[in-house]
A and B are shown apart, each in its own frame.
Chain A
Amino acid sequence: MRVPIRRAWLGAALLPVLLVLVPPFASAIRYPYLVTVINQALIYAIAAMALDFIMGYGRLVSFGHAAFFGLGAYTVGILSTQFQQGAPFILGWMGTNEAFVAWPLAMAVSAAFALVVGVISLRTTGLFFIMITLAFGQMAYFFFISLSAYGGDNGLTLSLPNTIAGSQVLSSGVPFYYVCFVLLLATWWLLRRFVNSRFGRVLQGSRQNERRMRALGFRTFPYKLVAFTISGAIAGLAGALIANQSGFVSPAIMHWQQSAEFLVMVLLGGLSSLVGPIYGAIALVLLDQVLVAVTPHWEIILGPILVLVVLFFRGGIYGALSGKGDRA
């Protein structure tokens, strides 16, 4: 409230404008690879924002979000593979390459797994919650490593990206970029509504003082479970997008390192802000691109940066830009 409106506005509203301008800018400087890089960041941002929703507002530190991300990617990959082979898959269904079918299915599969993981892990808190989500994440990872029918360790190649109502529009970079951009905005809008709703109040109240919530008559478990499941579904959507972008799905995207990267994106960008993870994802992807040219061990540089952010800029990049850093 003490934050000047203009500065807070700058942190949130400038970003979409800049993101819209990325493809024309890239084409102006004749560097189309920039679109690919930022596109990847937008996809990670969707998953990281889903993580911020439960971590920043419900203090549910999930160390297994790569599993939901990966499940979304594998859903798209497996459906597409079946479709290409033309072999009956489940109940005689041939699979699909249609985004309007595959992406909601990816979200549903991830949501279902998140529901199961949530039912078990949400009975614990703090460190135990982190460990259980990590364990489930690694279980999913090893499951797909041993799933030789779909490539096992080597993963799956998508010969074609998903179609939208039969059209191949996603096979070129710029339309796909804008599809991801719109989905990111939609995720942001939706999660913002959730956070500010009555549901969000219960979630945030439980984060601050669970005992108080129970004393007021709230059974907090169902709220946390719904939030966790929503978060898993959105991470699944991000997974469906990454499968399309890279044209490839492998167990590596379910590894705990990927989960850790989502956590880093949230902390670097700004916890409890929803917008922050977009900055976090862009920063991490760009740092990766820039620093990897300097040294293959670029994490050596990232580590200290992260320590400094956590020590001195609790609000992360978004907090520093918008002046809301003290609120986190």
Chain B
Amino acid sequence: MSADGGMSAESVANKDRSDGAPVLQAIKLQKYFGGLKVTDNLSLALRVGRIHALIGPNGAGKTTALAQLSGELSPDAGRITLRGRDITRLSMPRRAKAGVIRSFQITAIFNDFTVLENVCTAVQSRSRHHFSLIRAAARDHRLLDPARQMLTRVGLERLADRRASELAHGQKRQLEIAMALSAEPIVLLLDEPMAGMGPKEVATIADLLDQLRIDHAILLVEHDMNVVFRLADEVTVLVNGAVLTHGSPMEIRGNRQVQAAYLEEHYA
């Protein structure tokens, strides 16, 4: 089941970075909800070292596209490849194991667990010892040490023993990202990671994404245009499920079609 054949995520990322080929590629995806075409001939490529922003007005099909990339929905037509291997029919858990990890637009954390337990569960997803029935997970340093490091990285270390349900909204979003990262992804699919965060938290997470870019291929669905234009290396604009245009942030900013379809809706 291991997709990387024993190579560490880091060495895989190094290889991916050096050849510049797309790690995750979507080719002509189509998806219908009944008679409604929600994904229309969508192609996009994610490369290590680049943040690819997916933007578009509400209802453009961004989350549906992300669901197909993560394996939660399967496209009606088209292909998805991970390092050239066809993963179109691979289930969400298997894709996650292969290194494609998503975060959720609506925060999906384990409310009854502490913050630390949440991250430990994500760390555990990378190991092969889930069926360990007797050893206490709460004293397992192979889970605790990486989890504590991750909490420090996203700025939640002081809240480690707090129950997740007691966190403020922005903190829950930080936890959501910590969990996605703890699963050691190669491809990160982030569905509006900064939605509802305060300016300080946005800055923390933006800095974090900036660092993560080095050894991850990142798809960023985001509404905050300042964040998009600051972080993105390339931008795909989705309207009615179809790609309106694709280009560098500079090109997108100057594109009149985009302004008409999307930006004016926000800034008018």
Q: Which residues of A contact B (CB under 8 A)?
A: 1, 193-194, 196-202, 204-205, 208-209, 211-219, 223, 226
- Contact indicator B125/A196 (Cβ below 8 Å): no
- Contact indicator B161/A205 (Cβ below 8 Å): no
CA distance A193 to B136 in the complex (A): 7
Looking at chain A's contact residues, the main secondary structure is helix
Q: Mark B26-55, 1 if CB is under 8 A from A, else 0.
A: 000000000000000000000000000000
| Complex partner residue of B125 from A194, A199, A204, A216, CB under 8 angstroms | A216
* Cβ of B112 under 8 Å from chain A: yes
Question: Using Cβ atoms and an 8 Å threshold, which residues of chain B touch A215?
Answer: 70, 72, 92, 96, 101-102, 104, 108
Taking CB atoms and an 8 Å cut-off, the chain B residues in 127-150 that contact chain A are: 129-138, 140, 143
- Contact indicator A208/B96 (Cβ below 8 Å): no
Looking at chain B's contact residues, the main secondary structure is loop
User: How many chain-B residues does the 8 Å CB contact rule pick out?
Assistant: 39
A-B contact pairs, 14 of them (CB 8 A): A1-B161, A194-B134, A197-B132, A198-B132, A201-B137, A202-B124, A204-B112, A205-B121, A208-B113, A211-B104, A215-B92, A215-B104, A218-B93, A218-B125
- Contact indicator B130/A212 (Cβ below 8 Å): no
- Contact indicator A212/B109 (Cβ below 8 Å): yes
* Cβ of B217 under 8 Å from chain A: no
- Contact indicator A197/B136 (Cβ below 8 Å): yes
CA distance A223 to B138 in the complex (A): 19
CA distance A213 to B109 in the complex (A): 9
The distance from the CB of A174 to the nearest CB of chain B, in whole angstroms, is 32
- Contact indicator A226/B131 (Cβ below 8 Å): yes
- Contact indicator A209/B110 (Cβ below 8 Å): yes
CA distance A217 to B143 in the complex (A): 16
* Cβ of B194 under 8 Å from chain A: no
* Cβ of B122 under 8 Å from chain A: yes
* Cβ of B111 under 8 Å from chain A: yes
* Cβ of B87 under 8 Å from chain A: no
